[in-house]
Amino acid sequence: MKLARILTAPWRAVKNPLFLYQHHRQIHALRVTLAFIFGLVINLSFPIQHGSWMLVTIVVMLGNVPHLGAVAQKTRQRTVGTTVGALAGLLALALYGVSPLLAFSWMSLVILLSAYHAIDKAGYTALTVGITLVIVAGVGDGTVDESLWRTANVALGSLIAMMAASLFPQRALDHWRFLLSDNLRESALIYSHIARRVPLDMGVALGRFNTRLVTMRGLISAAASECEQSGASFELIQRCQRTLYSLFDRMDDIADTTAVVADGGQQRQAIVKALFRAAHGIRFLHPDLLLNVLPAPLLKAQTPGACDWLSAELSQTTTRLCDELLLLMPAILATQRTLLALSQEAAMRGRN
């Protein structure tokens, strides 16, 4: 039993979401390369015509999309776009036999609709429709046989891309929550330094915070798809983080000229502890760490200072963020079997 654990340890480590997050660039590059080689072997082993379209599809599907949810979205969009575009191209070829002018009019109409929707939410699908139409129909010199081969190659390339994305499943949801954990930890450190009047390079700290926030924004759609949730919950958490950023920026501006908060540090300690607990809870999937009961903000009896009001708002924002994470946590836990299994195994080894 112990030998089996030792032999399977490297594989279990590679499947750990935290390991995948920490080495996502290297793993992504390796996965794309393996998928490309696999497609190349298929092309060289079987008499596949226009096989380069399979390789193009693999690179396009995986090239700049490392996350499983995003690959799945892109696969659906490309498959739909390719199918519709191929059918439109075949119709154009049929119309070309009747009248070239009629065929070109049909192609122009499809391109018009494709361009109109290309800047919409389904932009990639619309763009794929237009590209496939041109590839299939050409200027009337295409053939049905070529069209079917190209469509089949795109479908096979999409399937290979999905298989490669599932090999070491880098989930956008994991990337999102690890970035959120880093931002919550950063928030605790920033507020602790400001409240205690300890010098801190605020520009650098807030820069790191904002860089993660921008990255998280691009992950929301794929992350929501992976845990089968609407993007609204993620957007609320995103908004809470923007509020934290704004509060820290304002606190830093007035900290040197404003008296410390009125509660003698109790509120500060409670907020810092809540942020650290939330960071640990979302990183290691412990919902109980999000159950933080912050004391009511204690303002001065007369003329509360600006830091008092900002600290009170920070306390409310922290509570709201933890509440939103608690609501989202069941959906996150449902997608995290690997990490949970590793955590339970480690806990059992510790008890033994």
For 214-257, what is each residue's pLDDT tens digit?
Answer: 999 989 988 888 888 888 999 999 999 999 999 999 888 877 66
Same domain, 163 and 177: no
Same domain, 112 and 154: yes
Domain boundary pick from 116, 133, 167: 167
Same domain, 129 and 214: no
Contacts of 298 (CB under 8 A, 6+ apart): 262, 263, 266, 267
Same domain, 111 and 155: yes
CB 84, CB 188: distance < 8 Å: no
Instruction: Give the structural domain span for 120.
Output: 2-167
pLDDT category at 350 given cuts 50, 70, 90 is very low
Other beta carbons within 10 Å of 80: 16
pLDDT category at 8 given cuts 50, 70, 90 is very low
- Secondary structure, 3-state, the chain: CHHHHHHHHHHHHHCCHHHHHHCHHHHHHHHHHHHHHHHHHHHHHCCCCCCHHHHHHHHHHHCCCCCHHHHHHHHHHHHHHHHHHHHHHHHHHHHHHHCHHHHHHHHHHHHHHHHHHCCCCCHHHHHHHHHHHHHHHCCCCCCHHHHHHHHHHHHHHHHHHHHHHHHCCCCHHHHHHHHHHHHHHHHHHHHHHHHCCCCCCHHHHHHHHHHHHHHHHHHHHHHHHHCCCCHHHHHHHHHHHHHHHHHHHHHHHHHHHCCCCCCCCHHHHHHHHHHHHHHHHHHHCCHHHHCCCCCCCCCCCCCCCHHHHHHHHHHHHHHHHHHHHHHHHHHHHHCCHHHHHHHHHHHHHHHC
In the predicted model, what is the mean pLDDT of residues 39-62?
87
Same domain, 157 and 184: no
Same domain, 266 and 339: yes
Domain boundary pick from 148, 167, 186: 167
Domain boundary pick from 167, 196, 221: 167
Our count of domains for the chain comes to 2
Q: Is the pLDDT of residue 326 over 70?
A: yes
The pLDDT > 90 percentage for the chain reads: 27
Same domain, 96 and 190: no
In the predicted model, what is the mean pLDDT of residues 342-346?
49
In the predicted model, what is the mean pLDDT of residues 72-99?
84
Tokens of 168: 């070491």
pLDDT category at 70 given cuts 50, 70, 90 is confident
Using alpha carbons, select from 41, 9, 27 the residue that is nearest to residue 167: 27
**Dihedral angle of Cα 345, 347, 348, 352, to the nearest 10 degrees:** 140
Same domain, 118 and 200: no
**The predicted structure's pLDDT at residue 13:** 55
Contacts of 134 (CB under 8 A, 6+ apart): 89, 107, 111
Same domain, 125 and 176: no
For 110-168, what is each residue's pLDDT tens digit?
Answer: 999 999 988 877 788 888 888 888 877 877 666 677 777 877 888 888 888 888 877 77
Residue 3 burial (10 A CB sphere; 0-12, 13-18, 19+): exposed
**The predicted structure's pLDDT at residue 305:** 60
In the predicted model, what is the mean pLDDT of residues 38-54?
89
CB 224, CB 237: distance < 8 Å: no
Same domain, 71 and 149: yes
Same domain, 31 and 113: yes
Same domain, 200 and 263: yes
**Of the ranges 14-23, 144-153, 255-264, 324-333, the best mean pLDDT one:** 324-333
Using alpha carbons, select from 205, 224, 341, 340 the residue that is nearest to residue 284: 340
pLDDT category at 48 given cuts 50, 70, 90 is confident
